[in-house]
């Protein structure tokens, strides 16, 4: 998006600058033509007076008289009342030397005392050359404008797209299963609307997660408690010695059915708890641990500390990365500010594919600048996910247990 906005601004500049230059050239050409026309009119009046004086003194008008007056881009024609025309053309004059109103040349004419007229014409190329003489300036201006437009475009596009980049990162985090999003709270109405929609989706994800966890707990209690009571009653009845054989057989069969029902109940509850938060967003533990370890290693290295990471089996087990990343990012802040020395982080797969993460730092800081707020938030997120976070300080060891999500 940033690149497209910059290219759009450059395209606009490349269109507007030449268009402005053409408009400026057209205006300059009109001004030059008007100025030269007025100057030519004054000159031709002076020339007509000179010819009248020459004729009144009995002289003749010939090319030798007119040639010193004509410049390199000027032509003069004297048309007497009788006799042939006298013409003088400068070396750079290429016009038609006539009085056509549509002529591109700048011309003026004046009557002479003998009934003829004198025509003074300036070549149209003089006007065009004057109007277009700054083409090199245009190229320089265009280059400077492109450079300035690129810099301004980058600044404006960066400022304009910043909230959208934050929205894109938040959407990516939501797709990975995170529900604490970094959203822009100010900006254009569209940005605020998108932020509110993503925030609502994250809240729905969190509510769904809490609802599923509550359902699993209620279902486990509502189904297994009566099954356990029924098993006890059946087992108590089955140990009696005075039971007929067919009754003992029926009790044994009922106990097996209760065990099967209890097993199915456990599988259904485990399946509900193990369902991915976001379809298609799961990662193998090996890949997830690698990403987390790299993030921790980069941050700890900036503080001159080392990290050791280890996976203890179950590397192919898949988990939703967002919640794990969210908890560990909060825990990383706590580790950086409330502990010292090398850090060890371990990943393991526990019972029912629960993810176990252990973090231990070499020692604690005497000054604990964050006050434990990131740790408390990490514990709250773990609890919301149906897991738990045990421990207060990384120096004493912290363990995170999360259901397979």
Task: Give the pLDDT of residue 138.
Answer: 66
pLDDT tens column, 281-306: 678 888 989 989 999 999 999 989 99
Q: Are 307 and 294 in contact (CB under 8 A)?
A: no
Asked if residue 131 has pLDDT above 80, the reply is no
Highest mean pLDDT: which range of 3-12, 332-341, 366-375: 332-341
Give SS3 for 304: coil
pLDDT tens column, 223-270: 777 878 877 887 777 777 777 888 778 888 888 888 888 888 777 776
Question: What mean pLDDT do residues 51-59 have?
Answer: 85
Task: Give the pLDDT of residue 298.
Answer: 92
Task: Give the pLDDT of residue 147.
Answer: 78
Task: Give the pLDDT of residue 148.
Answer: 79
Euclidean distance between CA atoms 116 and 381, whole angstroms: 105
Pick one of 1.20.58, 1.20.1410, 1.10.3470, 2.40.128 as the CATH number of 189-274. Answer: 1.20.58
Q: How confident is the model at residue 405 (pLDDT cuts 50, 70, 90)?
A: low
79 forms beta bridges with 117
- Pairing assessment for the beta strands 355-364 and 398-402 based on DSSP bridges: antiparallel
Task: Give the pLDDT of residue 61.
Answer: 84
pLDDT tens column, 214-230: 777 777 777 777 878 87
Tokens of 148: 């300035």
Asked if residue 175 has pLDDT above 80, the reply is no
Per CATH, which fold does 283-402 belong to?
Answer: Heat Shock Protein 90 (3.30.565)
Q: Are 17 and 141 in contact (CB under 8 A)?
A: yes
Task: Give the pLDDT of residue 347.
Answer: 92
pLDDT tens column, 74-123: 899 888 888 888 888 888 888 887 777 777 788 888 998 888 899 888 88
pLDDT tens column, 312-365: 878 888 888 888 888 888 889 888 888 889 999 999 988 777 889 999 998 887
Q: Are 400 and 379 in contact (CB under 8 A)?
A: no
Classify residue 401 by its DSSP letter.
E
Task: Give the pLDDT of residue 2.
Answer: 60
Task: Give the pLDDT of residue 276.
Answer: 58
Task: Give the pLDDT of residue 368.
Answer: 53
Task: Give the pLDDT of residue 305.
Answer: 92
Higher pLDDT, 44 or 18: 44
Euclidean distance between CA atoms 103 and 98, whole angstroms: 8
Question: What mean pLDDT do residues 361-376 have?
Answer: 72
The highest-level CATH class for domain 2-131 is: alpha beta
Euclidean distance between CA atoms 76 and 39, whole angstroms: 15
| Residue boundaries of the structural domains of the chain | 2-131, 189-274, 283-402
Classify residue 125 by its DSSP letter.
H
pLDDT tens column, 310-326: 988 788 888 888 888 88
Taking the CA atoms of the chain, what radius of gyration do you get in angstroms? 47
Mean pLDDT is lowest, of 26-30, 141-145, 365-369, for 365-369
Question: What mean pLDDT do residues 16-43 have?
Answer: 80
| Rounded percentage of the chain residues whose pLDDT exceeds 90 | 6
Question: What mean pLDDT do residues 171-200 have?
Answer: 76
Asked if residue 174 has pLDDT above 80, the reply is no
Token pair 């809240």 in the structure block, residue? 203
Asked if residue 198 has pLDDT above 60, the reply is yes
Q: How confident is the model at residue 387 (pLDDT cuts 50, 70, 90)?
A: confident
Average pLDDT value for the chain? 80
């Amino acid at each position: 998006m940033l690149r497209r906005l910059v290219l759009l601004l450059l395209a606009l500049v490349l269109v507007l600058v030449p268009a402005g230059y053409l408009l400026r050239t057209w205006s300059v050409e009109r001004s030059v033509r008007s100025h030269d026309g007025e100057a030519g009119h004054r000159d031709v009046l002076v020339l007509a007076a000179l010819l009248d004086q020459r004729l009144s003194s009995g002289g003749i008008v010939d090319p030798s008289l007119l040639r010193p007056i004509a410049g390199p881009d000027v032509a003069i024609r004297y048309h007497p009342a009788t006799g042939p025309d006298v013409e003088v053309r400068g070396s750079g004059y290429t016009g038609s030397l006539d009085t056509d109103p549509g002529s591109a040349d700048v011309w003026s004419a004046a009557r002479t005392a003998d009934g003829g007229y004198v025509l003074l014409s300036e070549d149209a190329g003089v006007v065009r050359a004057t109007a277009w003489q700054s083409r090199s300036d245009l190229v320089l201006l265009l280059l400077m404008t492109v450079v300035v437009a690129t810099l301004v475009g980058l600044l404006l596009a960066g400022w304009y797209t910043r909230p959208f980049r934050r929205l894109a990162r938040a959407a990516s985090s939501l797709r990975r299963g995170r529900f604490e999003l970094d959203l822009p709270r100010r900006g254009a109405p569209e940005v605020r609307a998108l932020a509110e929609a993503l925030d609502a989706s994250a809240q729905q994800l969190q509510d769904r997660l809490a609802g599923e966890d509550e359902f699993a707990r209620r279902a486990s209690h509502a189904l297994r408690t009566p099954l356990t009571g029924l098993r006890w009653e059946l087992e108590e009845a089955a140990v009696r010695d005075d039971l007929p054989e067919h009754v003992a057989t029926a009790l044994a069969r009922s106990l097996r059915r209760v065990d099967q029902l209890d097993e199915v109940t456990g599988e259904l509850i485990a399946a509900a708890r193990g369902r991915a938060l976001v379809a298609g967003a799961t990662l193998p533990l090996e890949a997830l641990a690698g990403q987390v370890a790299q993030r921790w290693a980069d941050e700890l290295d900036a503080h001159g500390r080392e990290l050791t990471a280890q996976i203890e089996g179950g590397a192919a087990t898949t988990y939703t990365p967002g919640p794990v990343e969210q908890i560990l990012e909060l825990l990383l802040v706590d580790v950086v500010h409330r502990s010292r020395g090398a850090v060890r982080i371990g990943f393991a797969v526990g019972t029912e594919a629960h993810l176990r993460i252990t973090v231990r730092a070499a020692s604690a800081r005497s000054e604990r600048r964050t006050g434990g707020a990131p740790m408390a938030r990490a514990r709250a997120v773990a609890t919301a996910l149906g897991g738990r976070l045990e421990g207060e300080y990384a120096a004493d060891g912290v363990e995170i247990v999360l259901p397979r999500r």
